[in-house]
């Protein structure tokens, strides 16, 4: 597998407790129905990954692991930084790490049926539509599209994660 390109010196790291104010701000600016601060428990913070540019948090997501599966939740890039390739970079880099370091092969996520931008991003990563959860979201009420990505067993041969 080839490492994702990183021409802009971006970095990905796990979230710490003192990142919470910046992440809450990003969450509130990126989603119509953001999670309230109390939803960010220590357990959930443990699962969060941040995308940084010049030490500034510009994106984040939760990667919740169950056995050899990963659920990706709250994928977000700061509104002022969207459509510059950061979302694609963050997700590629994260999946690359989980795949190569933890051998995680199965990835799942839910996305609003109207969220074409996110669906395109996930398709570019190789995610396929698996099904629909009726009326899954609130504010506004909407169906969720369930998408999944299953990577081949890891061997020493180089592979890309871009479908
Ligand atoms: C969805 C989101 C994470 C994408 O991040 P981003 O950094 O803007 O995306 P990128 O610039 O890396 O774009 C990657 C691909 O996604 C698609 N895409 C991204 N924004 C798009 C838009 N506004 N319209 C259509 N396609 C879009 C394109 O296919 C793009 O590839 P391309 O530029 O080669 O065409 C970002 O828009 C976001 O945070 N939105 C608000 C929160 C959200 O909806 N999260 C998803 C929850 S499931």
- Range of the structural domain that residue 62 is part of: 11-150
End-to-end Cα spacing for the chain: 12
Nearest atom of ligand 1 to the alpha carbon of 115: 44
CATH number of domain containing 42: 3.40.630.30
Asked if the structure places residue 161 within a domain, the reply is no
- Looking at the domain assignment, is residue 6 inside a domain? no
* Confidence (pLDDT) at 87: 97
Task: Return the ∠ at Cα 88 (arms to 87 and 92), rounded to 5°.
Answer: 120
Pocket test for ligand 1, best of 6, 59, 83 (most atoms within 8 A of CB): 83
Residue-by-residue pLDDT tens, the chain, 163 positions: 445 566 668 999 999 999 999 999 999 999 999 999 999 999 999 999 999 998 899 999 999 999 889 999 999 999 999 999 999 999 999 999 999 999 999 999 999 999 999 999 999 999 999 999 999 999 999 999 999 999 999 875 545 555 5
At 3, list the tokens.
Answer: 């490492």
Q: CA nearest 1: which of 71, 93, 69?
A: 93
pTM of the model: 0.93
Q: Is 21 in the pocket of ligand 1 (CB under 6 A)?
A: no
Pairing mode of beta strands 106-112, 128-137: unpaired
Q: Is residue 114 part of a domain?
A: yes
In a domain, 29, yes or no: yes
pLDDT at 68: 86
Number of domains in the chain: 1
Residue nearest to ligand 1 atom 26, measured at CA: 117
Measure the CA–CA gap between 104 and 151, rounded to whole angstroms. Answer: 8
Q: Is 116 in the pocket of ligand 1 (CB under 6 A)?
A: yes
Take atom 43 of ligand 1 and give the residue whose Cα is closest. Answer: 76
Q: Among 43, 96, 108, which residue's Cα sits nearest to residue 72?
A: 108
**98 is a domain residue:** yes
**159 located within any domain:** no
Tokens read off for 127: 């995610």
């Amino acid at each position: 597998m080839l490492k994702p390109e990183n021409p802009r010196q971006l970095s990905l790291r796990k979230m710490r407790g003192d990142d919470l104010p910046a992440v809450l701000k990003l969450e509130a600016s990126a989603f119509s129905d953001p999670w309230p601060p109390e939803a960010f428990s220590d357990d959930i913070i443990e699962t969060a990954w941040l995308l940084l540019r010049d030490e500034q948090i510009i994106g984040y997501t939760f990667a919740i692991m169950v056995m050899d599966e990963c659920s990706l939740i709250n994928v977000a890039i700061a509104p002022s930084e969207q459509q510059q390739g950061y979302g694609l970079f963050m997700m590629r880099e994260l999946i690359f790490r989980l795949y190569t370091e933890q051998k995680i092969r199965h990835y799942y996520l839910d996305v609003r049926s109207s969220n074409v931008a996110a669906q395109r991003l996930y398709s570019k990563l190789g995610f396929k539509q698996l099904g629909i959860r009726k009326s899954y979201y609130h504010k506004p009420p909407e169906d969720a599209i369930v998408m999944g990505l299953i990577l081949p067993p890891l061997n020493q041969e180089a592979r890309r994660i871009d479908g």
